[in-house]
């Protein structure tokens, strides 16, 4: 019953879009929901600037559907409940056609019910823990299988790591990622005793005992590797302690999922050369697209020292895909754009094409970089595009789930019982 209804939806949406294309309201409003104050401001302000830059660029090219674009910026102030409030404000008061926003998972979870209730459209640009697929959200950042799993494979195959220390900040992204990695490693024949897991609070600074513990893991002669989902400031103390205890990347390599160019700017990296990070984008990527993106960014922000990072690329791809989808649909109507989004392709800044999949995730290549003394990364491995997987295959509960908004019209479809568990998200 439900699926039949949903099957007719695209048709209805197309019909709707045909009429609304004529009456396109100008200007087209682009909501920007990034914290400009509070703890997340440093990361998110950059993304706000990125969206504003993209909007300006698009307006120079003549706008969209004959309209100029207008960025509507609000400040949720790193306050999670405020994200929901501001999202409602964007959708009901400002009537924006699309929202680019959020950084932390908890802020996304806060916004989700509002976006789903009011049928908005959100582009979420940050790598996250997966286990979610909302009809109204496009996830342009990496799912675990686009960052964590390839990095672990790299550890297993290229570095021959046999014993893993999963260190993380105590919040949802590290918890879920480490859970996925734990069952992945066990499926790869790593014994449970050879996986050491530790969680520390945000901004943790007293790392000496933990680093000693990690070093001591090597006592049974196995190669130890650290997979770090340590977030933000805490990394500084962690890497300082690694350097102080003389742990070199040759002895115990560390691969980080939350350390990018921005984070390294708070550190003297000369002692960290050789440690790793996994992302879908590094500023050091050597392609003409990247060069012109960096140039445009430096020109826009008026400072040639500013770095670019992975979530910026995610917004770059997401924004351009949205523009192309709206052009294809001839409207900014959410359902029409959504149907037009599937299969959209756009060149990555690191080469190759990103493609939007029916599960609202991108297919993107995974890059592994080694830290250089200048705070940038040497890209030492680049995979073929990996399709983002909303529900991981490595946890029994979610292995049976799949997401397909195009044909199945369901973001949480149980392939075992062939039923749609839910249309709306579990927040």
Least distance between another protein and beta carbon 102 (Å): 13
Q: Which CB, 335 or 370, lies closer to another protein?
A: 370
Q: Which CB, 66 or 201, lies closer to another protein?
A: 201
User: Is there a contact between 420 and 410 (Cβ–Cβ < 8 Å)?
Assistant: yes
Least distance between another protein and beta carbon 296 (Å): 21
Torsion sign over Cα 227, 388, 78, 424: negative
Tokens of 204: 């943790």
Q: Which CB, 406 or 424, lies closer to another protein?
A: 424
Give the strand pairing for 224-229 and 163-169: parallel
The Cα diameter of the chain in Å comes to 71
Least distance between another protein and beta carbon 22 (Å): 27
Spatial separation of the C-alpha atoms in residues 259 and 159, rounded to whole Å: 20
Spatial separation of the C-alpha atoms in residues 288 and 278, rounded to whole Å: 22
Least distance between another protein and beta carbon 343 (Å): 28
Q: Which CB, 160 or 343, lies closer to another protein?
A: 160
H or E element that contains 70: strand 69-74
Q: Which residues contact 347 (CB under 8 A, 6 or more apart)?
A: 289, 353, 354
User: Is there a contact between 278 and 367 (Cβ–Cβ < 8 Å)?
Assistant: yes
Least distance between another protein and beta carbon 405 (Å): 17
Q: Which CB, 34 or 340, lies closer to another protein?
A: 34
Q: How many CB atoms lie within 10 A of CB 270?
A: 12
Q: How far is CA 247 from CA 151, 194, 214, 252, 271, in A?
A: 20, 19, 10, 6, 9
Least distance between another protein and beta carbon 172 (Å): 5
Using left for φ > 0, alpha for ψ between -120 and 50, and beta otherwise, residue 410 falls in beta
Least distance between another protein and beta carbon 100 (Å): 17
Q: Which residues contact 398 (CB under 8 A, 6 or more apart)?
A: 131, 391, 392
Spatial separation of the C-alpha atoms in residues 330 and 376, rounded to whole Å: 41
Q: Which CB, 18 or 399, lies closer to another protein?
A: 399
Question: Can you say how many angstroms the Cα of residue 51 is from the centroid of all Cα atoms in its chain?
Answer: 16
Least distance between another protein and beta carbon 303 (Å): 12
Least distance between another protein and beta carbon 364 (Å): 20
Q: Which CB, 59 or 414, lies closer to another protein?
A: 414
Q: Which CB, 182 or 355, lies closer to another protein?
A: 182
Q: Which CB, 86 or 315, lies closer to another protein?
A: 86
Token pair 């789930």 is found at 401
Burial class (CB in 10 A: 0-12, 13-18, 19+), 142: buried
Least distance between another protein and beta carbon 14 (Å): 27
Q: Which CB, 25 or 268, lies closer to another protein?
A: 268
E strand segments, 342-418: 345-347, 353-356, 362-364, 367-371, 377-382, 386-387, 401-404, 410-414
H or E element that contains 228: strand 224-229
H or E element that contains 138: strand 137-139
């Amino acid at each position: 019953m439900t699926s039949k209804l949903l099957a007719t939806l695209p048709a209805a949406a197309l019909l709707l879009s045909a009429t609304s294309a004529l009456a396109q309201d100008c200007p087209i409003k682009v909501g920007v929901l990034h914290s400009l104050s509070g703890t997340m401001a440093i990361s998110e302000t950059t993304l706000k600037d990125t969206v504003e830059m993209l909007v300006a660029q698009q307006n120079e090219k003549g706008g969209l559907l004959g309209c100029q674009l207008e960025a509507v910026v609000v400040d949720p102030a790193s306050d999670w409940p405020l994200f929901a409030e501001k999202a409602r404000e964007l959708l009901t008061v400002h009537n924006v056609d699309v929202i680019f926003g959020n950084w932390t998972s908890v802020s996304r979870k806060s916004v989700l019910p509002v976006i789903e209730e009011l049928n908005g459209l959100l582009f979420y640009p940050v790598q996250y823990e997966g286990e979610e697929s909302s009809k109204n959200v496009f996830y342009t950042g990496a799912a675990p299988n686009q960052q964590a799993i390839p990095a672990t494979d790299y550890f297993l195959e290229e570095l021959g790591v046999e014993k893993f220390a999963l260190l993380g900040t105590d919040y949802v992204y590290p918890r879920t990622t480490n859970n996925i990695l734990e069952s992945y490693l066990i499926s790869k024949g790593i014994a449970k005793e050879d996986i050491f897991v530790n969680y520390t609070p945000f901004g943790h600074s007293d790392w000496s005992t933990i680093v000693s513990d990690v070093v001591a893991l090597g006592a049974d002669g196995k190669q130890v590797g650290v997979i770090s989902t340590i977030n933000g400031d805490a990394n500084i103390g962690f890497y300082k302690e690694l350097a102080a205890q003389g742990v070199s990347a040759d002895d115990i390599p560390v691969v980080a999922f939350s350390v990018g160019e921005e984070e390294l700017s708070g550190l003297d990296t000369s002692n960290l050369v050789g440690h790793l990070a996994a992302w879908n984008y590094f500023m050091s990527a050597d392609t003409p697209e990247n060069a012109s993106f960096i140039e445009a960014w430096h020109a826009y922000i008026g400072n040639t020292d500013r770095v670019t990072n992975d979530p910026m690329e995610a917004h770059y791809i997401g924004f351009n895909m949205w523009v192309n989808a709206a052009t294809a649909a001839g409207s900014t109507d959410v359902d029409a754009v959504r149907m037009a989004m599937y299969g959209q392709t756009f060149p990555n800044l690191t080469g190759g094409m990103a493609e939007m999949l029916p599960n609202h995730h991108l297919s993107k290549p995974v890059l592994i970089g080694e830290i250089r003394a200048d705070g940038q990364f040497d890209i030492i491995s680049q995979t073929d595009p990996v399709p983002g997987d909303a529900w991981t295959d490595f946890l029994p509960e979610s292995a049976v789930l799949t997401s397909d908004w195009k044909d199945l019209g369901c973001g949480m479809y149980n392939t075992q019982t062939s039923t749609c568990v839910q249309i709306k998200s579990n927040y």
